Amino acid sequence: MAAPRRRASAAAPPARLGDLHAALAAWFAREARDLPWRAADRTPWGVLVSEIMLQQTPVVRVLPMWEEWMRRWPHPSDLAAEPAGEAVRAWGRLGYPRRALRLHAAAAVITREHDGELPTTEEGLLALPGVGTYTAAAVAAFAFGGRATVVDTNIRRVHARLVGGEALPAPSLTAAEQRRAAALLPEDRAESVVWNAATMELGALVCTARSPRCGECPVAADCAWMAAGEPPPTYTPRGQAWHGTDRQVRGAIMAVLRAAEHGVPRALLEPLPSAAESPDGPVSAALARLHALGAGLEQRERALAGLLADGLAVDLDGVLRLP
């Protein structure tokens, strides 16, 4: 009886690391998606916008929105010249609209303090509003060709399987994962950029969370998870609820505010015919969708209070509008 294969260490990189780098780079050269924020004429601003939009949002939803934003605001100064509410309105239904406020705030700082040009280092990028560790590393790598340790959900999953022998990474990023990602990164700057992008792409297209296509994986022969017999996850990922939640009500209120260019009386959020005369057109349709949720007064007020506290809405003498 053959001895079972030894599970790879969760922290140590594979011995054939150079071969992994080469195999994944070759796969990426063949299979990478043609995305505009990867194009030769991309700008650092375009990369930053894409990274903020892609947080918890699939590429298929981001593509048309990114293209519209770059047509309207090709430079940070273009966005900074607009009210923050226009960024929120243009965000549409991408979700998590605070990201639009953060992009607007970052554009203002880039315009005011950096002559309209993004900082080129991770440290400088981290000083921008709304830019965290992942985004700073990603922009440093993909916009400026820097050697940065990029760790997103897809990369974490590839590392967990390829090196750690685990079906899924831990629910939250750990210091050990960050160290492992740093150890896997090629020393060469250009190669490190390709490794980051290729690993991310592999997680998005092949090494997916639910149905990995291991037969198409360019590094399957070195995968510790496959060598271990593809053990199941040690926990069940919990999806975020939507229907009936405050998030759903917040989204419906935001849809009303986006449709109402000049604001909407607060009384219109009450599903009572006598509260105020209902407007026509897109505002009426958005109000109808809000009222159809059947949210109680307490939940509506809670959702609205959250929007006001987050700066996504303002109340001017009983008239609600975008900031």
The catalytic residue positions are: 51
* Residue 204 to residue 287: CA distance in whole angstroms: 37
Question: Under a CB-based contact definition with an 8 Å cutoff, are residues 23 and 199 in contact?
Answer: no
SS3 letters across 84-129: HHHHHHHHCCCCCCHHHHHHHHHHHHHHHHCCCCCCCCHHHHHCCC
Name the residue among 214, 204, 205, 233 with its Cα closest to residue 162: 214
| Token reading at 312 | 């996504």
Name the residue among 41, 104, 96 with its Cα closest to residue 69: 104
DSSP category for residue 315: E
* Residue 231 to residue 161: CA distance in whole angstroms: 10
* Residue 238 to residue 72: CA distance in whole angstroms: 37
DSSP letters spanning 30-88: HH----GGGSTT--HHHHHHHHHHTTTS-HHHHHHHHHHHHHH-SSHHHHHTS-HHHHH
